[in-house]
Chain A
Amino acid sequence: MYSYSQFDKDFIAERNKQFRAQVERRIDGSLTETEFKPLRLMNGLYLQLHAYMLRVAIPYGTLRSAQMRQLAMIAEKFDKGYGHFTTRQNIQFNWPKLRDVPDILDALAEVEMHAIQTSGNCVRNVTSDHFAGAAADEIEDPRPTAELLRQWSTDHPEFAFLGRKFKIAVVGSETDRAVTKSHDIGLRMVRGANGEAGYEVIVGGGLGRTPMVGKVIRDFLPAEDLLPYVESILQVYNRLGRRDNKYKARIKITVHENGLDVIRDEVEKAFVLQRQAFGGYDQELYASIKEAFAPPAFIDAPLDAFYAAQNADASFRSFVDTNLAEHKNPDYAIVTISTKAHGKTPGDATAEQMRVMADLAETYGHDELRISHEQNVILPHVHKSHLPEIYARLREAGLATANIGLISDIIACPGMDYCALATARSIPVAQQIATRFDELKLEHDIGALKIKISGCINACGHHHVGHIGILGLDRAGVENYQITLGGDHTETAAIGERAGPGFAYDEIVPAIERLIYGYLDLRSSADETFLETYRRLGAAPFKAVLYPAEQIAAE
Chain B
Amino acid sequence: MAKKFTPKVLTANHLLSGDVIYWDEKGDWADAFEDALYLDTEKLAHHVLTLAEKQQDVIVGPYLADAALGPDDKPMPAHFRETFRMTGPSNYHHGKQAEA
Collect the chain A residues with CB atoms within 8 Å of residue B19's CB: 50-51
**CB pair B91 A80 closer than 8 Å:** no
Interface string of A96-107 (1 = CB under 8 A from B): 111100000000
Q: List 8 A-B contacts (CB under 8 A).
A: A47-B60, A49-B20, A80-B94, A97-B16, A98-B18, A417-B89, A425-B90, A427-B91
**CB pair B94 A95 closer than 8 Å:** yes
A residues 417-447 with Cβ under 8 Å of B? 417-418, 425, 427-428, 431
Collect the chain B residues with CB atoms within 8 Å of residue A97's CB: 16-18
A225–B91 Cα distance when bound, in Å, is: 47
**CB pair B80 A33 closer than 8 Å:** no
A17–B15 Cα distance when bound, in Å, is: 20
Judge if B27 is at the interface, Cβ distance under 8 Å: no
Collect the chain A residues with CB atoms within 8 Å of residue B78's CB: 477
**CB pair A431 B85 closer than 8 Å:** no
Judge if A416 is at the interface, Cβ distance under 8 Å: yes
**CB pair A477 B84 closer than 8 Å:** no
Contact A50 B56, CB 8 Å, known A98-B18, A477-B79, A478-B80: no
Total inter-chain residue pairs, C-beta < 8 Å: 75
Residue of A nearest to B83 (CB): A416
Partner of A50, one of B15, B80, B91, B95: B95
Judge if B70 is at the interface, Cβ distance under 8 Å: no
**A-B contact sample (20 more), CB < 8 A, given A47-B18, A96-B18, A418-B89:** A33-B60, A47-B61, A49-B84, A50-B18, A50-B85, A51-B19, A80-B94, A94-B89, A98-B15, A348-B91, A416-B81, A416-B84, A417-B89, A417-B91, A425-B84, A425-B90, A427-B89, A427-B90, A428-B91, A479-B80
A27–B56 Cα distance when bound, in Å, is: 9
Judge if B72 is at the interface, Cβ distance under 8 Å: no
Residue of A nearest to B98 (CB): A80
Collect the chain B residues with CB atoms within 8 Å of residue A418's CB: 89
Collect the chain A residues with CB atoms within 8 Å of residue B16's CB: 27, 97-99
> Interface on chain B toward A: helix, strand, loop, or mixed SS?
loop
A120–B16 Cα distance when bound, in Å, is: 22
A96–B19 Cα distance when bound, in Å, is: 10
**Which 8 pairs across A and B sit closest by C-beta, in order of nearness?**
A51-B18, A417-B89, A52-B18, A29-B57, A50-B95, A345-B91, A427-B91, A428-B90
The residues of B with any CB-CB pair to A shorter than 8 Å are: 13, 15-20, 56-57, 60-61, 78-81, 84-85, 88-92, 94-96
Judge if A32 is at the interface, Cβ distance under 8 Å: yes
For residue A419, give the distance in angstroms from its CB to the closest CB of chain B: 10
Residue of B nearest to A424 (CB): B80
Per the CB 8 Å criterion, the residue count for chain A at the interface is 31
Residue of B nearest to A348 (CB): B91
Residue of B nearest to A37 (CB): B60
Contact A95 B15, CB 8 Å, known A49-B85, A425-B90, A478-B80: no
A51–B18 Cα distance when bound, in Å, is: 4
**CB pair B90 A50 closer than 8 Å:** no
For residue A220, give the distance in angstroms from its CB to the closest CB of chain B: 46
Collect the chain B residues with CB atoms within 8 Å of residue A416's CB: 80-81, 84
Residue of B nearest to A99 (CB): B16
Collect the chain A residues with CB atoms within 8 Å of residue B13's CB: 47, 51-52
A residues 384-435 with Cβ under 8 Å of B? 416-418, 425, 427-428, 431
Collect the chain B residues with CB atoms within 8 Å of residue A51's CB: 13, 17-19, 95
Collect the chain A residues with CB atoms within 8 Å of residue B90's CB: 417, 425, 427-428
Collect the chain A residues with CB atoms within 8 Å of residue B88's CB: 50
Residue of A nearest to B17 (CB): A97
A417–B15 Cα distance when bound, in Å, is: 20
Collect the chain A residues with CB atoms within 8 Å of residue B20's CB: 49-50
**CB pair B80 A431 closer than 8 Å:** no
Residue of A nearest to B18 (CB): A51
A277–B1 Cα distance when bound, in Å, is: 56
For residue B66, give the distance in angstroms from its CB to the closest CB of chain A: 9
Residue of B nearest to A82 (CB): B92
For residue B43, give the distance in angstroms from its CB to the closest CB of chain A: 25
For residue A497, give the distance in angstroms from its CB to the closest CB of chain B: 28
Collect the chain A residues with CB atoms within 8 Å of residue B56's CB: 29, 32-33
A residues 39-61 with Cβ under 8 Å of B? 47-52
**CB pair A80 B92 closer than 8 Å:** yes
A47–B20 Cα distance when bound, in Å, is: 11
